[in-house]
Structure 1
Amino acid sequence: MKAWTVKQPGGRDQLVQEERPVPTPGENEILIEVKAAGINRTDILTRENKGLSKPYPILGVEVSGVVKEAAASHPELKPGTRVTGLVNRGGYAEYVTMPADRAMVLPDAISFEEAAGISEVFLTAYQTLYWLGELKEKESVLIHAGGSGVGTAAIQLARQLSDAHIFTTAGKAEKLRTTKKLGADVAINYKEEQFEERVLEATDGRGVNVILDFVGASYWEKNMKSAAIDARWVLIGTLGGTTVDQVSLLQLMQKRLSLKGTLLTPRSDAYKAELTQEFSEKAMPLFEDGRLKPIIHSVVPFDNLQEAHRQMEDNENTGKIILNVSDEMKRPGKG
């Protein structure tokens, strides 16, 4: 089968397509014929990881496709079943194995390319909003990087599941328009405005209950000002740096803040399975009637992976970048 790996860890010029054997599913795993794969920042971090050892792994953690070999433990996932979900690498390939308890069955209304934009961003958004951020009905939330894949997913979940009061930030007018269409109440251009001032003005000085922070160090003081008493602050990215020069523990104590950091990819199989199952029950039905939808920025041919990585590294995308692994990504009956 065709698969993407690296010649050596480094830039996107190190990406290389190779012939690899079709993987053999282990116990409680299914084999998937991949139709589409989502591009994620974790793929870029893996590509650049100097700690990788040979043979270098096939990249990709998120796929949609068709079950080719079933698992005895999950007879409902019979061959031919349309599924999507997270894999332990190997997604940029024509075939991949997936733990059966991590597969989400696709409604017919969702195409393969749309499905490849669900797992990583919506599961991350659900985890950060509800498992870590403990967002409650009608609370307020500040979602940074609102035009990103996780950002667009988080806005929709906060609107549909919690009817939250949603603040979001982005640096481009197009991204801000998208966030408003998805349900954001206040969309702030961080290049033109001080987001903490807008937050405090709109909340009568109280601040927000939950912060989803993709930025890190450069937003530390502004997030601190934006946080309400007893706020939950979830750190899920460090686009603005990893080191804060001075941290006032007294500020954290005075506001009684809960600060949590997380990465989804390194989590255990059991954690991802539990998260997938809860998300499937509470949120997956909302894709069928259109209340939730993956936002697709572009669909890139399988042979042009470097371009897909370029779009992400240049922060060009609003929503997901999808790798077209097969030409059969359309909805059933749509050609």
Structure 2
Amino acid sequence: MHAIHIEAQRLDWRETPAPDGPAAGEVRIRVAWAGVNRADLMQRAGHYPPPPGVTEILGLEVSGAVSETGPGVERFRAGDRVCALLAGGGYAEEVVVDARQVLPLPDGVGLREAAALPEVFATAWLNLFIEGRLAPGERVLLHAGASGVGTAAVQLCRAFDHPCFVTVGSDDKLAACRELGAAAGWNRHQGSFVEAVKAWGGADVILDPVGGAYLADNQRVLNADGRLVLIGLMGGRSAELDLGRMLMKRQRLIGSTLRAKAPAAKGAILDALLAHVWPRLASGEIRALIDQSWPIDEAEAAHAHLQRDANIGKVLLSISGEG
């Protein structure tokens, strides 16, 4: 098979051995589309190595068709069209993955759209509803609201009646988030978001991929008993924490990553998506928001687009071109 390899910081689409397996409980998928995530850029730069035992090939989500199943797999059979959440390996013609990390396509959703679902909706669901423990009516602040995870989170907030405020990098992105259901928002190039969020009513849960540079302002707008869920470090890994504010307002700071979770934990998250989100995708209430896609041999252009923060929604790579 062919796969992307990192050679001197360049992305090289070349022949490589196919993954072993499938072993018991695993499936082999012939990849049609792969999602591009900021974690891929971080891994490429040497800042986010794969978990032990996981391939160095980039790619955390794919769609395609099951070509082979291992012993004990009853949920899928060869030919099934699926999407999958991976720990790595998606920029390739084939992947082998634990069947618990695989989902059937939502009714009416094609392979291209399905590749935009697993990573972002699993991340949004995990951090809003499991780590963030959103209670009915609680308010959410989403940073990087126009990103893949952000646009998924906006739609989940709207679907489950949680008002959300987004911060974004342009007025066009703010308009796109409002169209998806954001109640209010702020262009970060206009300065700090603090006063705008306070005037809106503050946040009970904050989903933050920025980190250091935003910590102080996040604390200022986080309501009593609020939860700040940190999912990235785009703004740095060091900052000063106001312990007095944290204590008096009973604030909680939660660090969260999805990639290194065990297959059973990922499977539980995907089961929740199948029950609560897949029907809404089938009905059109929620949709996969795709910004642009490139052929796999033009992965450099896709990465450059994401690096510039030029996207609204997901960036995809076409492996086989199937729809």
The TM-score range, normalised by the shorter chain, is over 0.9
Residue segments in structure 1 that go unaligned for 5+ positions in a row? 330-335
**C-alpha distance 319-96 of structure 1, shift in aligned 2 (>3 A):** same
Is residue 163–residue 182 contact of structure 2 (8 Å, CA) maintained in 1?
yes
* Corresponding residue pairs, total: 320
Aligned with residue 322 of structure 1, among 293, 316, 321:
316
Please report how far the alpha carbon of residue 25 of structure 1 lies from its aligned counterpart in structure 2 after TM superposition.
Answer: 1.3
| Residue matched to 1:107 | 106
Please report how far the alpha carbon of residue 31 of structure 1 lies from its aligned counterpart in structure 2 after TM superposition.
Answer: 0.5
- AA aligned to 2:307 is E
Asked if 1:4 corresponds to 2:1, the answer is: no
- AA aligned to 2:11 is L
- After TM superposition, what 4+ stretches of structure 1 lie above 4 angstroms from structure 2? 50-53
| Residue matched to 2:225 | 230
Deviations 1:118-156 (A, max 9, x none): 000110000000001111221111011000000000010
TM-score, structure 2 length as denominator?
0.95
SS in 2 for 1:272: helix
| Residue matched to 1:283 | 277
TM-score, structure 1 length as denominator?
0.91
Asked if 1:242 corresponds to 2:243, the answer is: no
| Residue matched to 1:333 | none
Asked if 1:127 corresponds to 2:126, the answer is: yes
Please report how far the alpha carbon of residue 57 of structure 1 lies from its aligned counterpart in structure 2 after TM superposition.
Answer: 2.1
- AA aligned to 2:106 is P
- Separation in structure 2 between the aligned mates of residue 71 and residue 285 of structure 1, nearest angstrom: 28
Asked if 1:78 corresponds to 2:72, the answer is: no
Give percent identity, aligned residues only. Answer: 37
- Separation in structure 1 between the aligned mates of residue 45 and residue 22 of structure 2, nearest angstrom: 28
Deviations 1:38-79 (A, max 9, x none): 0011112222227789x9722111000000002332323111
Please report how far the alpha carbon of residue 7 of structure 1 lies from its aligned counterpart in structure 2 after TM superposition.
Answer: 1.8
- Separation in structure 1 between the aligned mates of residue 55 and residue 269 of structure 2, nearest angstrom: 28
- AA aligned to 2:158 is R
Is residue 167–residue 185 contact of structure 1 (8 Å, CA) maintained in 2?
yes
Asked if 1:309 corresponds to 2:303, the answer is: yes
- Separation in structure 2 between the aligned mates of residue 324 and residue 261 of structure 1, nearest angstrom: 32
| Residue matched to 2:162 | 164
- AA aligned to 1:65 is G
SS in 2 for 1:167: strand
| Residue matched to 2:12 | 16
- Separation in structure 2 between the aligned mates of residue 273 and residue 146 of structure 1, nearest angstrom: 26
| Residue matched to 1:221 | 216
- Separation in structure 2 between the aligned mates of residue 67 and residue 108 of structure 1, nearest angstrom: 17
Please report how far the alpha carbon of residue 278 of structure 1 lies from its aligned counterpart in structure 2 after TM superposition.
Answer: 1.7
SS in 2 for 1:225: helix
